[in-house]
Amino acid sequence: MGSPLIGVLALQGGFEAHERMLRRLGARTREVRVPDDLDGIDGLVLPGGESTTMTLGIAREGLGEPLRAFTASGAPILGSCAGLILLDREHLGLMDLRAERNAFGRQVRSFEADVDLLGLDGGPIHGVFIRAPQIAEHGPGVEIIGSVDGHAVAAREQNMIAVAFHTELGDDPRLHQLFLERVAALR
């Protein structure tokens, strides 16, 4: 079996940093812009950016239903920042949670913090928060796996992991590694 093929939603935002991180870990990547791009990928990353712009792009390209079908197939999904927002009840409706956008204030309030992530070995991971959302509410099937100052910023539900922050901008590949381990386990 060759290296896994990971799709990265590439309508807008910070998809290239995810691709670099994934390739560094030995995965192949494919930029996802239209439904056919989902064919044959082993996992999917929803990057940060502007959730409003990405939502418009998803509607324009008819990606909503195919993304739901892809998720239902059980393949692993990793969402970061705007990616977390896309996964919530009010957007793609794939995770049973409600993201509150720009929950830490506006751009000027961007900050960095070390986050203890449940299930991630080796100590806290460094997160960059850029107009980051918080998880304001969630259903019983959602496990909160990371918090900052009492605010939920990372969650897991079935095959999906969503984090409110960016780790792909730094040098710590452990979150992507965890994601790729789940991909490998399912192949």
Active site (catalytic) residues: 81, 166, 168
Which residues make up the interface to ligand GLN (CB under 6 A)?
Answer: 48-51, 81-82, 85, 101-102, 130-131
Burial class from Cβ neighbours inside 10 Å (0-12, 13-18, 19+) for residue 99 reads buried
Shortest distance (Å) from residue 1 CB to ligand GLN: 33
Phi, psi dihedral angles at 180 (to 5 degrees): -70, -30
Nearer Cβ to ligand GLN (5/136): 136
Shortest distance (Å) from residue 105 CB to ligand GLN: 11
Shortest distance (Å) from residue 95 CB to ligand GLN: 16
Give how far Cα 22 sits from Cα of 106, 143, 157, 183, Å. Answer: 29, 25, 22, 12
**Cβ(131)–Cβ(102) under 8 Å?**
yes
Q: Give CA–CA dist 70/58, Å, rounded.
A: 14
Two tokens at 179? 């994601």
Shortest distance (Å) from residue 45 CB to ligand GLN: 13
**Cβ(122)–Cβ(174) under 8 Å?**
yes
Nearer Cβ to ligand GLN (101/174): 101
Of 19, 12, 14, 81, the closest CA to residue 44 belongs to: 19
